[in-house]
């Protein structure tokens, strides 16, 4: 008998979440949604903890991203309250759990993408634009983030004289092994003329970066940008 009573109580509690979400969808009263959040937030946080522990244990060492996941969990909850459909016979808590797993994974993938892109930009900057290595003081420092963000802005706003110049810059920043050969063939230029064009674009970039960079960035990279 006791097992049945517990089971019945669990169903009542689940129905309460469903009813509260349905009420919010009908009224769009934020206080109703906030009340639902207060009821489920500990469940949500526990789900994030479980996701990290079981599926992405390496995130325990990444405090910034872990914190971001917990912060974003509220917005994932908000999204779930907007798109949950009671007619599909899926309990709100079940639906919320599925959405959390999907969105958390998307956040992690996007974060990995940006980190990979930043590493590529930094590597391309050092090897192909600045012509020699430069080491930032701390991989996770605000200095590096600020510099990379400004350089990204500069690259995106560079005045390209042709689509080929745009492709050259894009390949320098984001390209992979073999992309230069494909771009040279696409340009229909000879190897020597293509390399000359590439060096001209790199030279223009050096001048452009020196002219358009903030003083903060110039203070960090001016010795590298200067002609030797």
Structure confidence by residue, pLDDT tens digits, 138-175: 444 566 667 677 767 777 777 778 888 888 877 776 66
- Asked if pLDDT for residue 40 goes beyond 80, the answer is yes
Paired tokens of 125: 């900057």
Instruction: Give the mean pLDDT of the chain.
Output: 76
pLDDT recorded at residue 131: 47
Burial environment of residue 66 by CB neighbours within 10 A (0 to 12, 13 to 18, 19 or more): middle
Contacts of 55-62 with CB under 8 Å at 24 or more apart are 56/108, 59/108
Non-local (6+) Cβ contacts of 6 within 8 A are none
One DSSP character per residue, 13-78 reads HHHHHHHHHHHHHHH--HHHHHHHHHHHHHHHHHHHHHHHHHT-GGGGG-HHHHHHHHHHHHHHHH
Q: Is 177 helix (H, G, I), strand (E, B) or coil?
A: coil
How is the chain split into domains, by residue range?
2-116, 131-225
Q: What pLDDT, in 10s, does the model give residues 79-127?
A: 999 999 988 889 999 999 999 988 988 888 887 777 776 666 666 555 5
176-192 residue pLDDT tens: 657 788 888 888 888 88
């Amino acid at each position: 008998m006791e097992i049945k009573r517990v089971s019945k109580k669990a169903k009542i509690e689940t129905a309460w979440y469903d009813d509260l979400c349905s009420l919010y969808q009908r009224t769009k009263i934020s206080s109703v949604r906030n009340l639902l959040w207060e009821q489920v937030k500990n469940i949500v946080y526990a789900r994030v903890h479980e996701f990290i522990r079981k599926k992405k244990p390496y995130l325990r060492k990444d405090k910034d991203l872990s914190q971001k996941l917990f912060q974003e969990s509220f917005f994932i909850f908000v999204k779930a309250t907007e798109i949950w459909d009671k007619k599909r016979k899926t309990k709100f808590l079940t639906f919320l759990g599925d959405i959390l797993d999907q969105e958390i994974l998307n956040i992690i993938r996007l974060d990995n993408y940006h980190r990979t892109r930043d590493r590529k930009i930094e590597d391309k900057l050092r090897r192909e634009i600045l012509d020699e290595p430069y080491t930032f003081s701390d991989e996770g420092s605000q200095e590096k983030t600020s510099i990379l963000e400004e350089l990204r802005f500069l690259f995106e706003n560079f005045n390209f004289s042709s689509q080929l110049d745009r492709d050259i810059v894009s390949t320098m920043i984001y390209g992979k092994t073999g992309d230069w050969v494909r771009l040279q063939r696409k340009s229909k230029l000879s190897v020597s003329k293509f390399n000359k064009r590439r060096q001209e674009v790199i030279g223009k970039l050096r001048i452009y970066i020196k002219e358009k960079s903030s003083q903060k960035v110039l203070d960090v990279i001016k010795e590298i940008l200067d002609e030797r």
